[in-house]
Structure 1
Amino acid sequence: MNFLITGMRSNNLNFHSATRMSIRAMSNYTRLATGTPFTESHRIYIEKDGQIISPFHDIPLFTNTEKSVLNMVVEIPRWTNAKIEVATGEEFNPLKQDVKKGKVRFVRNCFPYKGYLWNYGALPQTWEDPTQSNPDTNARGDNDPIDVCEIGEKLGVAGEVKEVKVLGVMALLDEGETDWKVIAIDTKDPLANKVHDIKDVETHFPGLLDATYRWFKIYKVPDGKPENEFAFDGQCKDKAYANTIIEETHEAWQKLIKGDTPAKADTHDLAVANVTIKGSPYTTSSKSIKPSQEVKKSNNPGEADNKWYYVG
């Protein structure tokens, strides 16, 4: 298999043997990258037990029977700008950089923020069904796994799998779709045993929830788009409500992966190949995946636009 193990130190990619050990130490999952970072060719696959797996379908949502600890796939490390996401329409759903109008996408630095404020990612085995409308938001799902803002102190790595606990959820209304933003914390964080619900975030991370609301409201404005809207006046709902939403999106995913909901329809076009889901008509093997490129360093990391945008 023509992959190179990759890692990240600060905002720069590094390629050396020590990285392989550090990534393996993070979890039972290994990141395998191909193509050139910050280009359309770059992909990050996830491997477990010598086989490529889908971070959308094959990584369990819950890590314990109490359902109090969840897996999170990091897409975008805190303070970085490249819009990396799980490729829901590609076989085995590697991570890739979003493309708009033929160009890879970076978010702008809206004063006083640099890139994303948290380790941003997705909950595996969840799906926001675009055919279903939430009664509280009066908007349909956005056709993606549910998003997570992980607020712990440690910088994540794209493709890393973190174990997190849920604290609350914010409801962004993105172009008429419900785009849930779960607030969570790494279970290994020094403050994890002190924050148990959304009210604890304001106590131990004062100002972070206000900054989160502000960031999501304005981050598209420098690209000529209007400010985003929210349900619940932008306020975060508590842990119990968040868990209800997560369970609903998990149930929607279960219908999808079992074939009860079609994978391809007018509202969505999803890749559902997996290697672990018993009873799924889409279970298969990924051993034949052989990308044509090894990962290469990029001479232009795509971060040329480092200025601050002042949004009133």
Structure 2
Amino acid sequence: MSFTVEERGNPNTLGYRLFFKNAEGKYISPFHDIPMYADESRSIFNMVVEVPRWTNAKMEIATKDILNPIKQDVKKGKLRYVANVFPHKGYIWNYGAIPQTWEDPAHKDGDTGCCGDNDPVDVCEIGSKVYSRGEVIKVKVLGVLAMIDEGETDWKVIAINVEDPEANDLNNISDVQRLKPGYLEATVDWFRRYKVPDGKPENQFAFNGEFKDKDFAIEVIKNTHNFWKSLISQQANAGELSCKNTCVSACDSPYCCSADEAKTAVGETCPCGKEEPIPSSVDKWYYYERK
């Protein structure tokens, strides 16, 4: 199963969008139409890459837009970039999401005591390659971190591309601790402090910031997949989320998006144009003592 992307609008602008197509050239939603599993028998999952490692633009699946293209997050009318909080330059892993998962904001997690953040489950891919925005890669799960972001549960799955040269040696979170010393500590540090330059407090974590193992992580993913099933079958309140899809819902469902409707939605955006420069302020470094 292969997927391609189509750029619309000018990169590094408010109008930039990245739409997805399947192997037949049909427009799809990366949130709803890409299967969660790449190989269920081996517990291999699909991951949609939103942010390549070392970059700063806070790109994400637009859960409230029709067909859920990738776009850059916006705050107070301006594009969002994560700060370089020394010693971390941009995102320190390939960052993305597992499709067909949803952290239900109406469900209070029994382990964290907090409700979900209304997004697909986030993934940090820790392999050796830098991937491109919009790539769909096959990953095996190694563990998970439970971040509490402004009172909401925000799981961060640690995974590696199954085709990575290091993949055979990394099978659980303990392998990461052994073979990549300092990486998990850096990951907690990154998530703890990345919002501080924006004037926000440090993020907190369940389990005292300890990573849970592969089995725990897979259970989290399965649970959020069940929440997504409730969402797409209209058993859960979608709120402002766009559940339109071209492959999953039956044609009599209000969530079914026809090929013509999908083409119209993409056509209403601007064609891909000249890339605008990234503001020089994005290269600024921030320093402050850990608490």
Structure 2 counterpart of 1:140: 115
Select the residue among 20, 23, 42 that pairs with 1:46.
20
Q: Percent identity?
A: 51
Select the residue among 274, 284, 287 that pairs with 1:297.
274
Alignment-mate amino acid for residue 213 of structure 2: D
For 1:18-97, list aligned pairs within 5 A: 28-48=2-22, 49-97=24-72
- RMSD over aligned Cα atoms: 1.3
Alignment-mate amino acid for residue 215 of structure 1: W
**Partners of 2:48 and 2:99 within 8 A in 1:** yes
Report deviation, 1:279. Answer: 4.3
Q: Deviation string for 1:184-223 (max 9, x for gaps)?
A: 0001100101110000011221111000000000111111
Q: After TM superposition, where is structure 1 displaced by more than 6 Å over at least 4 residues in a row?
A: none
Q: Deviation string for 1:68-108 (max 9, x for gaps)?
A: 11000000000000000000000000000000011000000
Q: Write the distance in 2 (CA, Å) between the matches of 1:305 and 1:161.
A: 27
Q: Write the distance in 1 (CA, Å) between the matches of 2:67 and 2:242.
A: 7
C-alpha distance 89-303 of structure 1, shift in aligned 2 (>3 A): farther
Unaligned runs of 5+ in 1: 1-26
Q: Write the distance in 2 (CA, Å) between the matches of 1:187 and 1:283.
A: 33
Q: 2:247 aligned with 1:276, yes or no?
A: yes
Unaligned runs of 5+ in 2: none
**Length-normalised TM-score, structure 2:** 0.94
**Partners of 2:10 and 2:276 within 8 A in 1:** no
Q: Write the distance in 2 (CA, Å) between the matches of 1:33 and 1:301.
A: 17
Q: Write the distance in 1 (CA, Å) between the matches of 2:35 and 2:285.
A: 39
Report deviation, 1:175. Answer: 0.3
Higher helix residue share? 2
Select the residue among 284, 287, 290 that pairs with 1:310.
287
Structure 2 counterpart of 1:287: 263
**Partners of 2:56 and 2:83 within 8 A in 1:** yes
SS of aligned partner of 2:92: coil
Q: Write the distance in 2 (CA, Å) between the matches of 1:84 and 1:58.
A: 19
Q: Write the distance in 2 (CA, Å) between the matches of 1:101 and 1:288.
A: 29
Q: Write the distance in 2 (CA, Å) between the matches of 1:157 and 1:303.
A: 22
Report deviation, 1:65. Answer: 3.2
Report deviation, 1:304. Answer: 3.1
For 1:1-16, list aligned pairs within 5 A: none
Report deviation, 1:278. Answer: 4.6
How many residues end up aligned between the 2 structures?
A: 282
Worse-superposed segment, 59-68 or 126-135: 59-68
**Partners of 1:81 and 1:303 within 8 A in 2:** no
Q: 2:206 aligned with 1:235, yes or no?
A: no
Worse-superposed segment, 216-225 or 291-300: 291-300
**Partners of 1:34 and 1:43 within 8 A in 2:** yes
Report deviation, 1:241. Answer: 0.5
Q: Deviation string for 1:142-192 (max 9, x for gaps)?
A: 000000000011101111101000000000000000000000000110010
